[in-house]
Chains A and B, each alone.
Chain A
Amino acid sequence: MAGGVFAESGADLELVGIQKRFPGFTAIEGMDLTIPAGSFFALLGPSGCGKTTTLRLVAGLEEATAGRILIGGKDVTDTKPYQRPVNTVFQSYALFPHMTIIENVAFGLRRRKIADATGKAHEALRLVELDHLAARRPQQLSGGQQQRVALARAIVNRPALLLLDEPLGALDLKLRRQMQLELKSIQEEVGLTFLHVTHDQEEAMTMADTVAVMNKGKIEQLGAPEVLYELPRTAFVANFLGQSNLFTGPVEGTTGDSISVNVEGNRIVVPKSRAQRHSGEVTVGARPEKLTLHVTEPKPEAGTNLLGPGRVIDVSFSGVSTQYIVAIPGLGSIVVFAQNMGVGPLVGEGTETWVSWKVEHGFGLEDEAPRQPRFSSDTDTASIALEKKRALMSELEEA
């Protein structure tokens, strides 16, 4: 911003009624969002959901079709990028190839005529532990190093708001995990407001203290990662952020603090406080790791939902845990994660099983799950193959 003052701390970002239309499609539709000062905020969504457009609007690289953008209470909607107290860590890093690392980092300070630009740039490079490479050119650095230079080049300006556009997207998995932790600790150290855009749900949940899940130009849900995960409000969130088992049916009864839903003759109980709707057709669900597999029919218990019997149609071992897919007639395929506490899987394919979970782990959605999953169970290739296999086996046995 003009005046060359460093932001003492981060500033609030407010988006009010933001709309962005491109020729032929609308990228963002009526978005309202407030990001409080000092927070690490993640915008999470699939590609094309409008998250990068949102970021570019905040940076001033795109012009909003309608709406206002306020940073620290000041309307910046009509200002140019270079007038905004905002800096970006670009996905491609965009390090100037014709300048050395130190020239890159000092660039913003020089533009604002801040005294001792080089000294401050060295300081920022020390923060990312790359001061020894100050005289090199960007091409001579590894991807991870370039990423850290890009970060230093942005934070050295002490922007009120730091924008990160999938900054870890180009790194390999191991480096990515490491940089996630570093970024998080740097944010805590400098105390700036971070707005981070990513399509990696694990990254968003690890780093951010608030996550907004975006879909089709709208924010579907916003909250702390654990709340978002434990209590998704829409089918999109339930499936984009981790996996979910979803069931749809009419509410057939309510007790004081819970509703019970009839799903093809099975009763599923969900606490009222965890359900968005309490009547009519509703979609309820539970996370795979909350589910327990039983090889013998357990006694029905209050406070537990029990489904079954069904058959295990797929077992995939992944080290820490094993994923079982259980086909229950009328309910489709249910995914269960079980920690590998013992040696090897609990049950094999074809085993008759029951599935249960605690009522307080269930959730009820605002919208309905796409209807497809309920019916696809009979037609998906896995179950067809399984049916064939079973038919052949029984034929063999009979012979």
Chain B
Amino acid sequence: MAFSAFASAAPAQEPAPKRRSKIALLLLAPGVLYLVIFFLVPLFTLVTTALQAPTASGDIGQYVPGFEIGNYATVLAQYSPQILRSFGYSLVATVFALLFSYPLAYFIAVKVRHRPLLQNLLLVLVIAPFFISFLLRTMAWKSMLSDESFLVSALKGLSLMAPDAHITGTPFSVIFGLTYNFIPFMTLPLYAVLERLDTRYLEAGSDLYARPFTTFRTITLPLSAPGIISGVLLTFIPAAGDYVNASRQFLGGTGTTMIGNVIDSNFFDLQNYPAAAALSIILMSAILVLVIVYILLSVYVWKTGTEGLL
């Protein structure tokens, strides 16, 4: 199961006789070196930055190398609401995205399987939001949910909303935005796994006295587990680090800031690089726990090895 939602399921050929050759190194070296310099080194830089100490003069944005483990304690004490909120919001958004996407993915992958053109067109609709700027999509929701919007005036007119209530700037609108923006990330891996679901298993279940819901619970759901797990990671990871939806210019308010927002403000507004780095490391560590679980599942449960990650 490829982690990327974009990989098409290629019919697996007989594995090629794999040769050892200097050519392999030539092919690998530039890309691997690039990733080391621009991915691994930056991660390492974050680790060292997070331990830096302020200069003696205390100038803003000036730090010296150090071993200030205390930076972590400071940011944890200061930003624990934002950190917890990030994981809470993303968890709720992930669950909503899963509930929203599963029936849709099932319909496209299984129900219209015998009509490939329609199936592909529906898939294009699922990824259509990718073709328009992420920020503009979010902006559009902000306008549609703003206090002056038709929806809010209608709800207020029908007394379904208190006159002084808002939709934007609330946890609801932030979670709504996160859910909306990451739905395709959930739908695509679900689609990929459901597309390969052999409906004869469902017929066999039905033949063996399983009612539709039981068939779903005992056959469809376990068989689509790899897709669910990929989808959850693909949704949860960017949602936890996102700071556009939660920012005040978009769907958030003063009470909805997430870890991404505080990393951003520490970096740019306060120029407190050690704090921004420490927060990044905290976020990365939490995500790494999930990712390691996923890697272990790939290697030991699904037996696809680290090859299966790509």
Contacts and interface: CB of A to CB of B under 8 A. Distances in A.
Interface of A: 59-61, 80-82, 86-88, 90, 92, 94-98, 107-108, 111-112, 153-154, 157
Contacts of A157: 208-209
B196 to A, nearest CB: 11
B204 to A, nearest CB: 4
A82 B223 contact: no
B207 interface: yes
A81 B206 contact: yes
A90 B208 contact: no
Contacts of B222: 98
Contacts of A97: 201, 223
A223 to B, nearest CB: 29
B76 to A, nearest CB: 41
A153 B223 contact: no
B200 A111 contact: no
A59 B223 contact: no
6 closest A-B pairs by CB: A108-B208, A94-B204, A111-B209, A81-B206, A94-B200, A98-B222
B215 to A, nearest CB: 8
Contacts of A107: 205, 208, 210, 218
B211 to A, nearest CB: 6
A95 B208 CA distance: 11
Specify which of A90, A92, A94 lies most central, judged by the most chain B CB atoms within 10 Å of its CB: A94
B200 A92 contact: yes
A87 B208 contact: yes
A95 B222 CA distance: 14
Contacts of B204: 88, 90, 94-96
Nearest to B219: A96
Given A107-B210, A112-B209, A81 B223 contact: no
Contact of A82 (B200, B201, B207): B207
Given A94-B198, A98-B222, A111-B214, A82 B203 contact: no
A33 to B, nearest CB: 20
Interface of B: 198, 200-201, 203-211, 214, 218-219, 222-223
Contacts of A108: 208-209
Contacts of B203: 59, 61, 81, 88, 90, 94
Nearest to A107: B208
A358 to B, nearest CB: 49
A111 B211 CA distance: 8
B208 A111 contact: yes
Nearest to B211: A82
Main SS class of interface, B: helix
A61 B206 CA distance: 8
Contacts of B208: 82, 87, 107-108, 111, 153, 157
Contacts of B209: 82, 108, 111-112, 157
Given A82-B206, A97-B223, A90 B211 contact: no
A132 to B, nearest CB: 23
Given A94-B200, A97-B223, A98-B223, A88 B207 contact: yes
In the complex, which of the residues A82, A87, A90, A95 has the most CB atoms of chain B within 10 Å of its own CB atom?
A: A82
A59 B207 CA distance: 7
A87 B209 CA distance: 9
Contacts of B218: 107
B207 A81 contact: yes
B114 to A, nearest CB: 11
A26 B27 CA distance: 58
Contacts of B198: 92, 94
Interface hub of A61, A81, A88 (most chain B Cβ within 10 A): A81
Nearest to B215: A82
B201 A111 contact: no
A274 B208 CA distance: 45
Nearest to B214: A111
26 contacts: A59-B207, A61-B203, A61-B207, A80-B206, A81-B203, A81-B207, A82-B209, A82-B211, A87-B208, A88-B203, A88-B204, A92-B200, A94-B200, A95-B204, A96-B204, A97-B223, A98-B219, A98-B223, A107-B210, A108-B208, A111-B208, A111-B210, A112-B209, A153-B208, A157-B208, A157-B209
B214 A86 contact: no
Contacts of B200: 90, 92, 94
B207 A87 contact: yes
Contacts of A82: 205-211
Contacts of A94: 198, 200-201, 203-204
Contacts of B210: 82, 107, 111
Contacts of B214: 111
Nearest to B221: A98
A312 to B, nearest CB: 48
Given A96-B204, A108-B208, 8 more contacts: A81-B206, A87-B208, A88-B204, A96-B219, A98-B222, A107-B205, A111-B208, A154-B207
Contacts of A88: 203-204, 207
A371 B222 CA distance: 57
A96 B207 contact: no
Nearest to A150: B204
- Most chain A CB atoms below 10 A, which of B205, B208, B218, B219: B208
B303 to A, nearest CB: 11
A4 to B, nearest CB: 9
A384 to B, nearest CB: 45
A360 B205 CA distance: 52
A60 B212 CA distance: 13
Which of B198, B204, B214, B219 lies at the interface centre, i.e. has the most chain A CB atoms within 10 A of its CB?
A: B204
A164 to B, nearest CB: 12
B225 to A, nearest CB: 8
A128 B211 CA distance: 28
Nearest to B206: A81
Contacts of A87: 207-208
A105 to B, nearest CB: 10
Contacts of B201: 94, 96-97
Contacts of A154: 207
A138 B108 CA distance: 28
A81 B207 CA distance: 5
Nearest to B202: A94
